[in-house]
Amino acid sequence: MIHSLFIINSSGDVFMEKHWKSVVSRSVCDYFFDEQRKVGNPDDMPPIITAPHHYLISIHRSSMFFVAVCTTEVPPLFVIEFLHRVVDTFDDYFTECTESIIKENYVVVYELLDEMLDNGFPLATESNILKELIKPPNLLRTIANTVTGKSNVSATLPSGQLSNVPWRRTGVKYTNNEAYFDVVEEVDAIIDRSGSTVFAEIQGYIDCCIKLSGMPDLTLSFMNPRLFDDVSFHPCVRFKRWETERILSFIPPDGNMRLMSYHIGSQRVVAIPIYIRHHLSFKEGVLDLTVGPKQTIGRTVENVVVEIPMPKCVSNCSLSCNQGKYSFDPVSRLLSWDVGRIDVSKLPNLQGMVTCQSGSAMESKPTINVKFTINQMAVSGLKVNRLDMYGEKYKPFKGVKYITKAGKFQIRM
């Protein structure tokens, strides 16, 4: 299925490659670089590129491109999901996934890729299983391996590998038994210049941190499960139970995992939690922006960042803001305003002069890209009803946290 994997940094250098079947020449990445030159933003890169004898399937994470090379037709989403699983595994092992960290841990990275893919087909992709196969790196283990010449690879198979619950290892014991759930929703929206919603939908997911002893069997129910238009589950979830009762029933992996992802489509009314009053005139050279909360049920809007990619005719911006700080890059023409937390008593405002080059043609007005975070609020109205545990006698500590974020949130000027 997957012949080779190339990891490309932000400078366009292939700094790591891994081959499972036959060796594919690095020159195949030239097709990828040709497409990359055509797009300005890395996120606009087409995920699938067809070459004469290969298919290049890529994702962009942590300022790097992970490019899988296939010689036959494959389900592309299958490969994309595997690439995301690779990056998530690196994040779990090394705390974060960056070029420098991958270079520092080349040996462990190659060992992980050997176990995750067997002859081009996914084998062990669960973090629990991998940690039993390959010990996560630490300073003491690195020194010991250097002295003794041993590797991080375990000599025995993981205990759960041959069971019908391969994602959970046996004999798990904790002093404090805890189960935490994060319900995270990202709002994708397009707002027109009058403030009306052109398009809005929600991409959500539920992340868990499960630290429970033994072999617990959990059920998670929602107050309003009919909200979901489309769902995707971790393999531990019993799908038949969800289809009949709309209840999540599962034996969880030990540690962190993504329990489910869901989509709430544009046919439902999506509450827009933020608004921007804007005025931009290139003729007068004036810019005025005011940011405020909207439909947040009293929750504070935090980590607000407003970005405006100015047209080429703009040479400089001389602005003042009553909150946060702004910057203008004269090369990329990007105006960025880091607002922070919105104070309802005094709404953040950015205003001032925009200088245009003399004699340059006036271009169309740009769009405003907004980022924000709202804690303890799910914008869809989704609520967890209850979490029950069977198979074990102790009472665990349970917690649920709701977070709303901006996905691709654009406002037309």
Q: At what angle do helices 106-116 and 76-94 cross, to 10 degrees?
A: 140
The pair of three-digit structure tokens given for residue 318, joined into one six-digit string? 């001389």
Return the pLDDT at 326: 92
Q: What is the pLDDT of residue 296?
A: 83
Q: Residue 190: what pLDDT?
A: 94
Closest of 121, 115, 119 to residue 161, by C-alpha: 115
DSSP string, 320-375: EESSSEEEEETTTTEEEEEEES--TTS--EEEEEEEE-TTPPPPPP-EEEEEEEEE
What's the pLDDT at 133? 82
Please tell me whether the overall predicted TM-score, pTM, comes out greater than 0.85 for this model: no
Taking only the tens of pLDDT, the chain with its 413 residues reads 899 999 999 999 999 999 998 899 999 999 999 999 988 788 889 999 999 999 999 999 999 999 999 999 999 999 999 999 999 999 988 888 999 999 998 989 999 999 899 988 988 888 877 888 888 877 666 666 566 666 666 656 665 555 678 788 778 899 999 999 999 999 999 999 888 999 999 999 999 999 999 999 999 999 998 888 899 999 899 999 999 999 999 999 888 889 999 999 877 788 899 999 999 888 888 999 999 998 888 899 999 999 999 888 888 889 999 999 999 998 888 999 999 999 888 899 999 998 888 766 666 788 999 999 999 999 999 999 999 999 999 999 999 999 999 999 999 98
Q: Which two tokens stand for residue 320?
A: 């003042």
Q: Which tokens is 209 given?
A: 């941190």
* Biggest CA pair distance of the chain: 78
Neighbours of 387 (CB within 10 A): 16
